């Protein structure tokens, strides 16, 4: 009698769990446990009991709210700009080949290999007061332009440039699922470039755009180096604000409260990311 052997599902499941055990353990130890500690540390005070006073302070303090608002709109604008700048480059790289496309790809990915501090100082040298742009304008007998250095525009320009490659790679990954034949088919039926983009390409890379935006928001909301070096002193983004509250003001409770609030915003966008991934896995883009 011939019998077929069946791999035991339980064994496969156990192997899978063992494979993820180490990263999950690290996640619990290095992320979830400190988060839990931070949350508990901001709402429970030994000997005094529960209190939401630090949160009440944050959400009633005008300066904290201005910082939160600045962080929110800088994050939103930078994310949108990154996608807006990366999209045409991604479309070009997806549907063109050759030496010029290779050059464009190299230039677009170059910021990936430049540390944030270098970006900041390069920015200051080029766009800062008496920087290269000013020097050129003066040499041409033109008036100097208002510098974006130490204004909200400073970190926005720096942050857009710094993380453009990541957005580009995410969009390229999504566009990889849009076949050239499907674009050709639309052209063949009479569609122009804008129609192809809005009705054929865009609906099929929605998940990738959401993922790119979510990744951007997660990185931007707690960005430190560029907002610290290029941004205004007041209001300031949450990253520098937290650092200053903790170090300069020696106020760990409020710094932790700011961190928990920042984490809550990031977690919300993290959920958007997880949902987008789940949606992408359920069906074709």
Where along the sequence are the contacts to another protein (CB under 8 A)?
Answer: 179, 181-182, 184-192, 195, 199-200, 203-204, 283-285
Tokens of 272: 């958007």
Q: Which is nearer to another protein, 119 or 211 (CB)?
A: 211
Residue 185 Cβ, how far from another protein at the closest point, in Å? 4
Residue 155 Cβ, how far from another protein at the closest point, in Å? 37
Residue 92 Cβ, how far from another protein at the closest point, in Å? 18
Q: Which is nearer to another protein, 66 or 204 (CB)?
A: 204
Q: Which is nearer to another protein, 23 or 283 (CB)?
A: 283
Phi, psi of 170 (to 5 degrees): -65, -40
Please list the alpha-helical segments (H only) found in the chain: 9-27, 33-43, 53-60, 62-95, 99-109, 116-127, 132-139, 153-162, 164-175, 180-188, 193-195, 206-221, 225-230, 238-243, 252-282
Phi, psi of 142 (to 5 degrees): -105, 155
Q: How far apart are CA 266 and CA 56, in angstroms?
A: 20
Q: Which is nearer to another protein, 49 or 192 (CB)?
A: 192
Rounded to 5 degrees, what angle do the CA atoms 58, 63, 67 make?
Answer: 85
Residue 195 Cβ, how far from another protein at the closest point, in Å? 7
Residue 222 Cβ, how far from another protein at the closest point, in Å? 34
Q: Residue 127 half-sphere exposure, CB side, CA atoms within 13 Å?
A: 18
Q: Which is nearer to another protein, 72 or 200 (CB)?
A: 200
Q: Within 10 Å of residue 183's Cβ, how many Cβ atoms?
A: 20
């Amino acid at each position: 009698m011939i019998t077929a052997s069946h791999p035991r599902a339980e064994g496969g499941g156990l192997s899978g769990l063992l494979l993820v055990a180490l990263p999950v353990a690290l996640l619990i130890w290095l992320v979830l446990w400190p988060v839990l500690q931070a949350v508990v540390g901001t709402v429970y005070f030994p000997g005094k009991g529960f209190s939401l006073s630090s949160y009440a302070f944050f959400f009633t303090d005008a300066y904290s709210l201005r910082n939160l608002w600045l962080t929110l709109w800088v994050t939103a604008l930078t994310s949108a700009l990154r996608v807006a700048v990366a999209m045409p480059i991604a479309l070009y790289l997806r549907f063109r080949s050759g030496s010029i496309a290779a050059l464009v790809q190299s230039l677009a990915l170059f910021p990936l290999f430049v540390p944030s501090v270098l970006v900041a100082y390069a920015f200051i040298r080029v766009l800062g007061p008496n920087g290269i742009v000013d020097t050129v304008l003066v040499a041409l007998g033109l008036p100097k332009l208002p510098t974006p250095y130490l204004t909200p525009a400073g970190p926005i320009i720096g942050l857009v440039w710094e993380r453009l490659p990541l957005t580009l790679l995410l969009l390229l990954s999504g566009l990889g699922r849009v076949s050239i034949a499907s674009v050709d088919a639309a052209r063949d039926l009479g569609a122009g470039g804008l129609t192809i983009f809005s009705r054929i390409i865009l609906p099929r890379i929605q998940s990738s755009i959401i993922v790119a935006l979510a990744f951007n928001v997660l990185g931007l909301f707690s960005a430190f180096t560029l907002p610290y070096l290029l941004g205004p002193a007041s209001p300031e983004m949450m990253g520098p604000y937290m650092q200053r509250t903790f170090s300069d003001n020696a106020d760990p409770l409020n710094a932790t409260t700011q961190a928990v609030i920042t984490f809550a915003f990031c977690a919300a966008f993290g959920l958007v990311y997880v949902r987008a991934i789940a949606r992408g896995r359920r069906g074709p883009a």
